[in-house]
Structure formats: structure tokens, C-alpha cells
Amino acid sequence: MIELPEKLLKLLRTAKKVAVLTGAGVSAESGVPTFRGDEGLWKKFRAEELATVEAFMRNSRLVWEWYMYRRELISSVKPNAGHYALVELENHFEDFTLITQNVDGLHRAAGSRNILELHGNITRNKCFDCGQPFEGEIDISRGDIPRCECGGKIRPDVVWFGELLPAHAINGAFDASDTAELFFSVGTSALVHPAASMPVTAKRNGAYLVEINREPTPLSDIADCALHGKSGDILPQIVEKLKE
């Protein structure tokens, strides 16, 4: 069982406003692939060459084939113990915000509710032109890209390179960071901005900062508590401490 600082134990009992930022490390523990093109046709491409507006405009079918391949890869992946521990934390705290850089939808599948998806969600679709959600079936086997009622092509609801993050997600994330009493940075390298600045913002505004990551990061030196290991091991132990 991990040993936690007394101040953190007290905040686990008394804090009302808590924010958590999660990154790829949390999903990796479930076996979510990094999608860097390790198999077959996709060895020829880099993510940066397919996840762009320009790529979609140039060859929409190719981009869709890549995303359908990605969806197939994650279709059998399940949430891990870390995902479920975050659900328990949400149920415990009065004001809990989960900010994630992951697009796989595993937090929602585990049961988390108040989620801000900074980079979108690979399981959803939207119109390229008007941005409206699209609930219809995606079938590109004949080469046709589905279209919205407005006439725009349907695309995956993820943030591509060069695009702005969704305003509601980024604004909500910084609001939660600004006001958190307790902030967890979990499974993220703390290198990709603007997400990397959220733990720092929280700390500057008086939050107690906890880092959970398999390896030290640039955040480790300023964290009030840095716990190095798998989030799927550490988060459930924190939940157990809460219940004691």
C-alpha cells in the first residue's frame, strides 16, 4: 500500500473542488495502441500526414479508412482499474472535473460523467462544415463519404493537427484548474500544451498538486506529491485510503 502525505489525506477527506487531467498513459494500461502506423498500409503514413484538414480535403476516403482502422483496434479495449477508480473519486467529491487528452472514450465507458475531452472523441462523428453531430452509419466501402443535411462531409469528431481545441472543453478545463483545491495529473508527460499548463495553473492558484505517472516528468519537481507507477495500481489505492 502506498504512503500518502498527511496533507493529501486530509484533502481527500475535506476538499470540495477536485480536477483530474489524464493522458495517454492511462489508456496505454488498457492496451490502447498509439496509432503511429505499425501495421500494413499505415507504415507508409505518419499521423501528422492523415490527421489534418488538408489531408481530409485532399483524400477524404483515405483519412476515413485510417480512422475506421483505428476504431476497430480500440473496439475490444476495456477500461482499466484506474478508469474505475476515477469514477469512484467523482462519486466522492462535491465538484469533480475530469479533463482528458484521450479520444478513446474509455472514461465514459467506465462511468465517468463530468468529462471534458480536449481532443474530441474518436467514436463520434460531426459535419466538416457546420460542426453538427452525425448519428448515421459510416460505410465507406463504396467510396462515398456521408454528408450532413447542410451538404458538408462527415468527419471524425477529433481535433486534428492545426485545429483549435473545442472552446467549451478548454475553457471548462482552465476554469476547473483555476478553482481546484486538489489537482491530479495522471498518465501524462506534461509536455503537450495547453494541457501541460493546467497543473501549473492549479498549483499557482493554491491547489495541492498530485502527479501519478510511470516516469518522472517536468511536473515532478513542482508537484506536492509525485507518485511514480501505474495509475491502475495507484488510483485504486488512493480510493481505498478514502474509504478508511
Which of these is catalytic: 92, 107, 119, 168?
Answer: 119
d(CA 92, CA 124): 29
119 is catalytic: yes
Q: Which grid cell sits at 171?
A: 475553457
Residue 121: which H helix or E strand, with range? strand 120-127
DSSP class of residue 133? B
> What's the chain's length in residues?
244
- The answer to whether the CB of 114 falls within 8 A of the CB of 97 is yes
| Beta carbons within 8 Å of 170's beta carbon, 6+ residues apart | 118, 194
d(CA 199, CA 94): 20
Active site residues: 119
